[in-house]
């Protein structure tokens, strides 16, 4: 109703919305007796960990905040129009934040300049669908950036005295922690304040992912690295050197050449002992073993595969937010100023945030009061096509609809 997404009718987070519950036929969550239901969301992984649950909750709140703002601006819009326009804005949020604020920290300066610079326009000949190697290997680089604990912080960005940080393996499939343990604010503060784990060649995945994955909810723990490599094999993904060739990179054929690529002779030797040749190396393992590109958090192979995928997503999307005709010039201008930090401010009780949510707090990225950040200006969405006609009295035109008001005993015919 009124363009709003469904929210929880039983529980609130300090007066704010939580995700609705969805009863499951098979219980997979590590639940409290009071809560035997999953949050319900468009992505079935919503409750995989409490950080993910918190981000989903944040964006549902923002959708509803936008829908309410649009209704105040255009009270004649019906529920479907309000929902679709808020949804369209949320899609633009995702595109802007991912491409302009997140990816530069991941793929580095060269890939951003060469492949993800200024928007070149829509190309109907480009297929924007997701490549298998991206889904099963390259974009799983971020598993190596996960810390062994999820930080939960109080209003002063200190360890929460009542709801302290949670070991990662105890944060899987525990959505009740969001409902009963302080809501999403402590989790979001932790995400803002805690740096991502640094992937190094001698410490890639934390033990919580290698030895204790889903142990809290299953009798047998899993190994995320093994799952990543097995998935690539199940999907028939070619090996490391095949993708190096695809990206125009060298294909190491001996110890000296692999050492040159990895900048680590001992690691190169151990990999060749296991695989025999770099041709046989799993692309996920080879990709995450490479030293970072300048300004990025992945090596040359994954910088290429990730940038190529996002390049195709952008150029092959007819509804891309920067494509003329999708939004007005005024709407595009205000969408370009959207920041994740302000979305957090607008939908939580958090009062201060770093200006750039993707960078740790520093002299160049200080924490500022939310009141100093500007919310999205919705005035470009005011429906200005409404007005009284010149030829008939008591009628008003709104977009493609014309409304007439008549007295009794009169009728209107076309």
Annotated binding site for heme b: 143
Q: What is the DSSP string of 256-297?
A: HHHHHHHT-HHHHHHHHHHHSSGGGS-HHHHHHHSPPPTTSS
Q: What is the DSSP string of 16-61?
A: B--PPEE--SS--S---TT---EE--SSTTTTSBHHHHHHHHHHHH
The helix/strand/coil state of 397 is strand
Residue partners of 355: CB distance under 8 A and separation at least 6: 339, 341, 365, 366, 368, 373
Strand (E) or helix (H) holding 149: strand 149-150
Task: Tally the residues of the chain.
Answer: 414
Instruction: In whole angstroms, give the CA distance from residue 30 to residue 172.
Output: 8
Instruction: In whole angstroms, give the CA distance from residue 253 to residue 260.
Output: 11
Contact 188, 348 (CB under 8 A): yes
Contact 211, 123 (CB under 8 A): no
Residue environment code for 320-345, b if the CB has 16+ CB neighbours within 10 A, otherwise e: bbbbeebbeeebbebbeebbbbbbbb
Give the position of tokens 């028939």. 236
Instruction: In whole angstroms, give the CA distance from residue 232 to residue 251.
Output: 19
φ, ψ of residue 150 to 5 degrees: the values are -95, 120
State the angle between helix axes of 185-193 and 50-73 in degrees (0 to 180), rounded to the nearest 10: 110
Residue environment code for 247-263, b if the CB has 16+ CB neighbours within 10 A, otherwise e: eebeebeeeeebbebbe
Which residues are known binding-site members?
Answer: 143
Q: List own/partner pairs for 57-61 with CB under 8 A and 24 or more apart.
A: 57/13, 57/17, 57/18, 57/19, 57/178, 57/184, 58/184, 58/188, 58/343, 58/344, 58/347, 58/348, 59/90, 59/343, 60/5, 60/7, 60/17, 60/19, 61/16, 61/17, 61/347
């Amino acid at each position: 109703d009124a363009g709003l997404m469904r929210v929880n009718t039983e529980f609130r987070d300090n007066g704010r919305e939580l995700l609705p519950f969805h009863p499951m036929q098979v219980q997979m969550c590590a639940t409290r007796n009071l809560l035997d239901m999953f949050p319900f969301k468009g992505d079935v992984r919503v409750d995989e960990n409490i950080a993910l649950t918190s981000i989903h909750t944040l964006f549902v709140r923002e959708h509803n905040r936008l829908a309410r703002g649009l209704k105040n601006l255009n009270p004649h819009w019906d529920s479907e129009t309000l929902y679709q326009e808020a949804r369209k804005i949320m899609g633009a949020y995702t595109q802007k934040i991912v491409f302009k604020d997140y990816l530069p920290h991941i793929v580095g300066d060269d890939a951003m300049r060469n492949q993800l610079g200024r928007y070149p326009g829509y190309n109907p000949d480009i297929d924007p669908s997701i490549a298998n190697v991206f889904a099963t290997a390259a974009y799983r680089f971020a598993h190596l950036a996960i810390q062994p604990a999820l930080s939960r912080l109080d209003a002063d960005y200190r360890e929460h005295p009542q709801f302290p940080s949670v070991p990662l393996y105890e944060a899987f499939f525990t959505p009740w922690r969001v409902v009963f343990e302080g809501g999403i604010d402590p989790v979001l503060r932790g995400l803002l304040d805690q740096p991502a784990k640094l992937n190094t060649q001698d410490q890639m995945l934390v033990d919580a992912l290698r030895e204790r994955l889903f142990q809290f909810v299953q009798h047998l723990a899993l190994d995320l690295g093994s799952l990543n490599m097995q998935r690539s094999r199940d999907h028939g993904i070619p090996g490391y050197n095949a993708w190096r060739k695809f990206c125009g990179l060298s294909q190491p054929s001996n110890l000296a050449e692999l050492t040159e690529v990895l900048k680590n002779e001992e690691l190169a030797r151990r990999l060749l002992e296991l695989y025999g040749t770099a041709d046989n190396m799993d692309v996920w393992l080879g990709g995450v073993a490479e030293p970072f590109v300048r300004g990025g958090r992945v090596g040359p192979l994954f910088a290429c595969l990730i940038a190529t995928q996002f390049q195709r997503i952008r150029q092959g999307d007819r509804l891309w937010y920067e494509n003329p005709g999708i939004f007005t010039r005024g709407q595009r201008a205000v969408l370009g100023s959207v920041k994740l930090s302000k979305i957090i401010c607008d939908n939580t009780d958090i009062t201060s945030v770093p200006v750039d949510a993707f960078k740790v707090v520093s002299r160049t990225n200080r924490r500022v009061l939310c009141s100093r950040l500007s919310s999205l200006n919705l005035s470009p969405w005011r429906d200005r096509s409404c007005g009284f006609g010149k030829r008939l009295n008591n009628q008003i035109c709104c977009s493609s609809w014309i409304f007439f008001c008549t007295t009794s005993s009169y009728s209107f015919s076309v």
